[in-house]
């Protein structure tokens, strides 16, 4: 049998990035040993660290490393140290640059409530029971990339400008991804916009309806973004797949993360033409960096998504998720999901527990 080999570009980034990536790499190693698949890991610099060393957040070397890889795994970027840098040098530009240059237009953010963590959410457990939502966020358009943009002077006063813009092709391709996801799930899709105010949203709604004609088995509902923000807290279990633009998706996915108890639990996959990128949705959390207290589970869940979407290793992806569930069931918790009566562990111990469980689950029966 031909030996399988994949190249993974790993960008730990800033803040807690290196700590959580370290744990994710342990998981990748175990998967490699048991499956016989070789993962060639190449580490690179992006974000604030890259600014410090190379004077730019996304050095050419890192970008070509990403372009030449089979998948990208990213920790997190940013921190107070770099906040006052001009816009084009901010660490966040690295993320946006990677998304744009890799053509990663489809951002998948699954929001799954683990039964074991029901009491970690600020919401009542009867409201969040059985939450299984897939948020599909458009990732390369909208106000994030629209032109014109900038801060200009007019009559001696500053004006800040950004442009919300979507072409029908951009809308069609992301809505199609969402319908295709919905058809494999509970066949319900909510498309989120602000069509009562914005023309770009009116077009979004029209195109989503048109694409829906090709998917008669999926129920399509349109929802205004403000209403969706409210419904996510009020009756979250009504949602199966949500599709929305870049800006609304950014906001709604942070909101939805709290349904699971902690933003430290949410992974993401950004898909496009070839190389996909995987990252936790939380940020670099500079306030807790370097203290071995960050939750590595979102990053480890991102590895599971990588195995599933980039390498077709469905069994191993599921085993990683099962291992996480089992470790939570055993009571291990990092600080963000800790409750009285559970076992408080650090980043590294959490990683080790997952590895232990993984090894047991991966043993051939
Ligand atoms: C996210 C983040 C990024 C975004 C930031 C860090 C640029 O919030 O991935 O959700 O706004 O897309
Ligand atoms: Mg965000």
Give CA–CA dist 357/365, Å, rounded. Answer: 15
* Choice from 283, 298, 299 to test ligand 1 binding pocket (greatest atom count within 8 A of CB): 283
Based on the residue annotation, tell me whether 254 is a catalytic residue of this protein. yes
Q: Which domains does the chain have, with CATH numbers?
A: 1-112+268-365 (3.40.718.10), 122-260 (3.40.718.10)
Q: Considering 14, 90, 142, 144, which one is annotated as catalytic?
A: 144
The vertex-245 CA angle with 259 and 17, nearest 5°, equals: 60
CB contact set of 146 (below 8 Å; sequence gap of 6+):
162, 163, 164, 165
Closest ligand by atom to 245 CA = 1
Nearest-CA residue for ligand 1 atom 6 is: 92
Closest ligand by atom to 95 CA = 1
DSSP 8-state symbol, 237: G
- Statement: the pTM of the whole predicted model exceeds 0.85: yes
Q: Considering 194, 224, 278, 357, which one is annotated as catalytic?
A: 194
Please count the residues of the chain: 365
Atom of ligand 1 nearest to the CA of 76: 6
Based on the residue annotation, tell me whether 132 is a catalytic residue of this protein. no
Based on the residue annotation, tell me whether 6 is a catalytic residue of this protein. no
User: Cβ distance 107 to 269 under 8 Å?
Assistant: yes
> What's the 119 CA to ligand 2 centre distance in angstroms?
24
Based on the residue annotation, tell me whether 194 is a catalytic residue of this protein. yes
| pLDDT score recorded for residue 114 | 87
| Angle (deg, nearest 10), helices 347-362 and 17-35 | 10
| pLDDT score recorded for residue 308 | 96
Q: Considering 119, 206, 226, 287, which one is annotated as catalytic?
A: 226
Render each residue's pLDDT in the chain as its tens digit; 365 residues: 568 999 999 999 999 999 999 999 999 999 999 999 999 999 999 999 999 999 999 999 999 999 999 999 999 999 999 999 998 899 999 999 999 999 999 999 999 988 888 887 888 888 888 899 999 999 999 999 999 999 999 999 999 999 999 999 999 999 999 999 999 999 999 999 999 999 999 999 999 999 999 999 999 999 999 999 999 999 999 999 999 999 999 999 999 988 887 888 899 999 998 999 999 999 999 999 999 999 999 999 999 999 999 999 999 999 999 999 999 999 999 999 999 999 999 999 999 999 999 999 998 76
Give CA–CA dist 151/6, Å, rounded. Answer: 43
Longest dimension (CA), the chain: 75
């Amino acid at each position: 049998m031909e030996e399988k080999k994949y190249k993974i570009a790993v960008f730990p980034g800033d803040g807690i990035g290196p700590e959580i990536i370290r744990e994710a790499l342990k998981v990748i190693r175990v998967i490699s040993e048991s499956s016989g698949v070789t993962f060639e890991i190449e580490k690179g610099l992006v974000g604030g660290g890259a600014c410090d060393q190379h004077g730019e957040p996304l050095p050419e070397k890192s970008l070509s490393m990403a372009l030449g890889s089979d998948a990208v795994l990213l920790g997190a970027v940013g921190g107070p140290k770099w906040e006052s840098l001009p816009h084009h040098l901010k660490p966040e530009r690295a993320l946006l640059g990677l998304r744009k240059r890799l053509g990663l237009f489809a951002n998948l953010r699954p929001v799954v409530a683990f039964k074991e963590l029901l009491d970690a959410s600020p919401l009542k457990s009867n409201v969040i029971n059985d939450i299984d939502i897939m948020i599909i966020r458009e990732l390369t358009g909208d106000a994030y990339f629209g032109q014109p943009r900038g801060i200009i002077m007019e009559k001696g006063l500053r004006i800040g400008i950004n442009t919300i813009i979507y072409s029908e092709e951009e809308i069609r391709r992301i809505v199609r991804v969402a319908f295709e996801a919905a058809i494999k799930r509970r066949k319900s899709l909510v498309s989120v916009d602000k069509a009562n105010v914005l023309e770009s949203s009116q077009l979004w709604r029209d195109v989503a309806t048109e694409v829906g004609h090709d998917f008669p088995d999926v129920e399509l509902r349109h929802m205004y973004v403000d209403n969706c923000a409210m419904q996510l807290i009020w009756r979250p279990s009504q949602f199966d797949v949500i599709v929305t633009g870049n800006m609304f998706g950014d906001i709604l996915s942070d909101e939805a993360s709290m349904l699971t108890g902690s933003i430290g639990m949410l992974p993401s996959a950004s898909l496009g033409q070839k190389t996909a990128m995987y990252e936790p949705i939380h940020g670099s959390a500079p306030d807790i960096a370097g203290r071995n207290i960050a939750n590595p589970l979102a990053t480890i869940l991102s590895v599971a998504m990588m195995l599933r979407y980039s390498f077709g290793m469905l069994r191993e992806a599921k085993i990683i998720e099962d291992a996480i569930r089992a470790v939570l069931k055993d009571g291990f918790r990092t600080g963000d999901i800790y409750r009285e009566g559970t076992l408080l562990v650090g980043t590294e111990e959490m990683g080790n527990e997952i590895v232990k469980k993984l090894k047991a689950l991966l043993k051939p029966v």
